[in-house]
Amino acid sequence: MWGMARKAQSLAGSDRKSLESIGVLFKGQDLKSLRDTKQICQKLLRSFPKLEILIENSPKPVNRWSHSRLKWMSAERIPFRTRTLVVVGGDGSILRACRLLMKTETWETCRVLGVHSGTVGFLAAMNVKEALKNLSSLLSRKNGLVEELRSCLHIKIERNSRIFRNFHVLNDCVLSKGSLSRIFEFQVEVNSEFLSSYRADGLIVSPPTGSTAYNLAAGGAIVHHDIPAVQITPICPQSLSNKPIILSDRHEISLRLGRHSSDVYLTMDGQKGLRMGDRDVVHITKSEKSIRFLNLGSRELKHYFESLRHKLNWGLLPRGRP
């Protein structure tokens, strides 16, 4: 299955090239992210005498620091020169890094390790404090990190009977109104079979990784990333009986616009938007591309549950414990 974790391996052992260079992406306009990134880079350079760090250019040259094994370059070039990306920031920064990989064939060779330094951290494997304490040993120790393959969606937009744009998303694609918040009409088909028509503020289609994003705020279910599924979640439907539905990711989902559907946009991973035409059709299938996340092998499930508890303010302690 796409979501299953691969057998743990040492990046310094069986995969020497990964530790010869590491790419680092961060939120350059954020001073906290900049400080956290600098500390992590300095720790890695001290721990690995031959390591070269390829770091994303800071928008302000004054914020860059120098080291003989630190190379500043554009974010687009980094995935071609390394097999490990450390992303310092929140989920938005990690999604941006994943978008870079899916634009090219580097999604097949590059792994993503998220270090939480932002507001939301569902996709990160560790926070900055944990990274400074454990990252060097995890990268060099066998069984320190495991790969998780996260499934993505392939979005194809049909216009005038031909596919004119396509995208790959890890989080979600959202059909919604533009500047004015008004309901509009659309219908959903699954494998060319009519599912339902909707009058709503919009619709979210997400793979498991995106289930804790906009989907969750709209009343969708949380789906663990090991489950090969796709979720369809209406946004504020006029009919209270229109509920989210979870399907196998083997199916093709099609979205067709109906009446009052002017000024409608399709947004991919919250980072790329496209204005829809009245007769456009959106086709959604499981992508052949996937993202390889690095996570803590010994505590992957524990980390997942901890993230849910702390981010969603669930009960923080088991019953019977002080």
Domain with CATH 2.60.200.30 in the chain: 152-288
Q: What is the predicted pLDDT for the residue at 5?
A: 43
Q: To 10 degrees, the CA torsion angle through 13, 135, 78, 60?
A: -160
Question: 238: which residues sit within 8 A by CB, 6+ positions away?
Answer: 183, 199, 200
Kindly report the average pLDDT of the chain as a whole number: 87
Q: Which candidate, 264, 258, 230, 225, places its Cα nearest to that of 244? A: 230
Beta strands in 79-211 (DSSP E): 84-89, 111-116, 126-127, 145-159, 162-169, 173-177, 184-190, 193-200, 202-206
Residues 167, 292: Cα–Cα separation, whole Å = 18
Using an 8 Å Cβ cutoff, are 250 and 230 in contact?
no
Q: What is the pLDDT of residues 55-87, one digit of tens each?
A: 999 777 767 888 999 999 999 999 999 999 999
| Locus of tokens 């919250």 | 270
3-state secondary structure of 248: strand
Chain centroid to CA 192: 28
pLDDT: is 322 or 151 the higher one?
151
Q: To 10 degrees, the CA torsion angle through 269, 275, 277, 281?
A: -10
Using an 8 Å Cβ cutoff, are 244 and 165 in contact?
no
Section 123-149 average pLDDT: 82
Is beta strand 21-26 parallel, antiparallel or unpaired with respect to 84-89?
A: parallel
Counting beta carbons within 10 angstroms of the beta carbon of residue 72, is it exposed (0 to 12), middle (13 to 18) or buried (19 or more)? Answer: middle
Is beta strand 264-268 parallel, antiparallel or unpaired with respect to 253-257?
A: unpaired
R_g of the chain computed on alpha carbons = 21
**CATH fold for the domain made of 152-288:** Tumour Suppressor Smad4 (2.60.200)
Q: Which candidate, 262, 263, 264, 227, places its Cα nearest to that of 246? A: 227
Distances in Å between the Cα of 231 and the Cα atoms of 37, 280, 311 are 35, 21, 21
Domain with CATH 3.40.50.10330 in the chain: 16-143
| Locus of tokens 């019977």 | 320
Q: What is the pLDDT of residues 2-27, one digit of tens each?
A: 344 444 344 544 444 456 899 999 98
Helices 128-140/31-47 angle, 10° precision: 30
Q: In the structure encoding, which two tokens stand for residue 247, read together?
A: 């399907």
Q: What is the predicted pLDDT for the residue at 299?
A: 64
Chain centroid to CA 321: 35
Q: What is the pTM of this model?
A: 0.88
**CATH fold for the domain made of 16-143:** Rossmann fold (3.40.50)
What positions carry a catalytic annotation? 91
3-state secondary structure of 287: strand
Section 182-188 average pLDDT: 91
**pLDDT band at residue 320, thresholds of 50, 70 and 90?**
low
